[in-house]
Amino acid sequence: MKPSTASSPPQAPWGAIALLFIATFLTAGIGALASIDAKTFYASLNQPAWSPPPTVFGPVWSVLYLMMFFAAALVVRRLGTVAARPALWLYGAQLVCNALWTWLFFHWHWGAASFAEVLLLFTLVALTLRSFWRVRPLCGWLMLPYLVWVGFASALTLAMWRLNPGVL
């Protein structure tokens, strides 16, 4: 058995990476449950001219969830589970907010709450990105499209809320 050196990275337990995978894609599933009727509801709303068609959301979110998972897994591989804990707490918090937004907007139709919550989500994603970047810049880059998309979602949420005051 080779002794560990100070320069060798900690071994990331595969169990922690499996939990990250489950948590990330459970979040996607929880969001999907809330958005079962999202296409119909989304189509019924007054939308800004720059609003994407409903068919864009599924593929974009699928790619973003994969990128988020890989970023988090790389953080755990680089630091080990214990040292990665602060970054993982941020990651977990943004996952909770991610799932909650879908319920607020698509299921409960709470425009003000969904807008406030998406701003919180944006903040948590930015903090997670910064935390991941400090571990390894690639991890931050993997989170950047998600941050951009949540920024776009923030603007879209505000526009939809304002254009649909009787519904949202």
Assign 39 a pLDDT band (cuts: 50, 70, 90): confident
Assign 5 a pLDDT band (cuts: 50, 70, 90): low
- Cβ atoms 129, 144 nearer than 8 A: yes
CA 99 to chain centre: 8
What's the residue count for the chain?
Answer: 168
Q: Is the dihedral of CA 118, 55, 146, 102 positive or negative?
A: positive
The residues spanned by each domain of the chain are 57-168
Alpha carbons 131 and 23: distance in angstroms, whole number:
19
Tokens for 90, please give them. Answer: 């941020």
- Cβ atoms 38, 54 nearer than 8 A: yes
- Cβ atoms 71, 115 nearer than 8 A: no
Give residue 10's pLDDT: 63
Give residue 6's pLDDT: 55
Nearest CA among 67, 65, 71 for reference residue 95: 65
How high is the mean pLDDT of the chain?
A: 92
For 116-139, what is each residue's pLDDT tens digit? 999 999 999 999 999 999 999 999
Question: pTM, whole model, 2 decimals?
Answer: 0.90
Residue 73 φ then ψ, to 5°: -65, -40
Question: If 0-12 CB within 10 Å is exposed, 13-18 middle and 19+ buried, where does residue 142 land?
Answer: buried
> Which value, in Å, is the radius of gyration of the alpha carbons in the chain?
18
Instruction: Tell me the mean pLDDT in the region 64-86.
Output: 96
